[in-house]
Amino acid sequence: MSLSPDSKAKFNLRGAQILLVEEGSMALDILVQILVGFGGKDMMKVQSVAEAKELLGKATLDLMVVAASVGDGAGYALVEWIRREGPESNRFVPIVMLAAHTPQTDVMRARDSGAHCIIAKPLKPVVLLERILWVAREQKKFVSCPSYAGPDRRFRFDGPPAGGPGRRHDDINEDLGEAIAPNMSQDMIDALITRKKKS
């Protein structure tokens, strides 16, 4: 499942082995219908962490979609188990998590468990497609250390893409010279960025 960011190819999951882990049968059916729309044919559906672990030992997967709520929040623990103790053949599988609510704490928990990303429910097909494409394009390296195992969480901002609008270190054609006025004091900077309460 590898796509170039510039690819015009039609996205298709036809050859992908996908494991769906979701508690309710209706939620599983909705997820299946969405992925069938993306060409998915080889999908395994489970409703518990125990069933997921059993299947992980039998098949090599290309994608997992895991609901955080499975087993009263055990979806996070499942992802962490896969990254640290799961079968070697599936330790690096792309994992997209789903959650009814995605406060910052849950986003960080999903990230820290080793998931590639987390999506809020109700699930929109276009959002799931965008996240799957992002995972396929990014191809993040995996990190393993005592406190974490999973895709590299570090983020490097390189600015806007080359050739587009915006400033990059290599698009300034002239010498900028020295500042002609004194720098602002920290108090002046703080005053500019601190929100003022409305009266």
Domains and CATH numbers, the chain: 17-151 (3.40.50.2300)
Amino acid identity of residue 20, one-letter, is: L
Residues 47-54 have a mean pLDDT of 96
Q: What is the pLDDT of residue 187?
A: 76
Q: Residue 48: CB partners within 8 Å, gap ≥ 6?
A: 23, 70, 71
128 CB neighbour count, 10 Å cutoff? 19
Q: What is the pLDDT of residue 1?
A: 41
The band of 188, judged by pLDDT with boundaries at 50, 70 and 90, is: confident
Is the bond preceding residue 122 a cis peptide, omega within 30 degrees? yes
